[in-house]
Amino acid sequence: MTIKVAIDGPAGAGKSTIAKHVARQMGIPYVDTGAIYRSLTWQSVNANIPLDDENALAQLAEGLDILFIPDGESQRVIVRGIDITQAIREPEISGKVSLVAKYPQVRRKLLAIQSMLSQSALGVVMDGRDIGTSILPDADVKIFLTAKLEVRARRRFEEMKRQGFDVELEKVLLELEARDQADKQRKASPLRMAEDAVALDTSLLTIEEASAMVAALCEVRLKNKGVQ
């Protein structure tokens, strides 16, 4: 029995941590689609491609050679043989990724990669901004995760400090706010909740509590599927 799980929401709502927990618990692969957009942005910056050149970005997206390698609790991101796991989390990339993600041609090319990565016989947990609305419209479980901006900024700040980045809380908050606005306002598959998604505000929950809720919902849907 397979199960497809779509987790969307703004930056810092806990999507990737919760998605990883749920994937581990269900024994199915996890695909971090934000890492795909970040990898393309990293490559564009390194290849000096102007971030307003949609055609050039789409061409780069078509040839994006990305690999996710499991690494304990998380996964490493390899592009053309280079490990860019840490590099794609740099504030420079976070600040530019929404510029790249807004182009319809780019999104179309990356949709092909995401569709391929979702084709596991076991099922998949994918997180991003348009998973429930565009990438997995037939997902068995759709979750829209939110949390107050201050809570999301604090979580992202703590996470970046743990990863060794030298950051300021205020700057992290402004960056998240700007990115959410850009992701919500773009014309091509913007950040929005699918009509059949379940909304979960994680402001007052620990990540463990939120993960347990999402995993419980997945178990229920899986059981119901078996009965149908």
Q: Which positions touch ligand DC (CB under 6 A)?
A: 11, 33-34, 37-38, 97-98, 101, 128-131, 179, 183
Specify the residue, 3 or 96, whose C-beta has the smaller distance to ligand DC. 96
- Least separation, in Å, of the C-beta of 36 and ligand DC? 7
In the complex with ligand DC, which residue's Cβ is closer, 67 or 216? Answer: 67
The minimum distance between CB 147 and ligand DC, in angstroms, equals 13
**Nearer residue to ligand DC within complex by CB, 9 or 123:** 9
To ligand DC, the closest distance from the beta carbon of 223 in angstroms equals: 28
Q: Looking at beta carbons only, is 61 or 227 nearer to ligand DC? A: 61
Task: Report in angstroms how near the CB of residue 139 gets to ligand DC at its nearest.
Answer: 13
Task: Pick between residue 115 and residue 224 the one whose CB is nearest to ligand DC.
Answer: 115
**Which one, 11 or 160, has the nearer CB to ligand DC?**
11
Instruction: Give the rounded distance of the alpha carbon of 47 from its chain centre.
Output: 24
Query: Shortest gap between Cβ of 53 and ligand DC (angstroms)?
Result: 18
| Least distance to ligand DC, CB of residue 184, Å | 10
Please say which residue, 33 or 44, places its beta carbon nearer to ligand DC.
33
d(CA 52, CA 109): 17
Cβ within 8 Å of residue 19, ≥6 positions away = 5, 7, 30, 32, 125, 126, 127
What is the torsion angle, in degrees rounded to the nearest 10, for the CA atoms of residue 125, residue 200, residue 99 and residue 158?
Answer: -90
Query: Smallest distance from the beta carbon of 55 to ligand DC, in angstroms?
Result: 19
Give how far the C-alpha of residue 130 lies from the chain's centroid of Cα atoms, to the nearest Å. 9
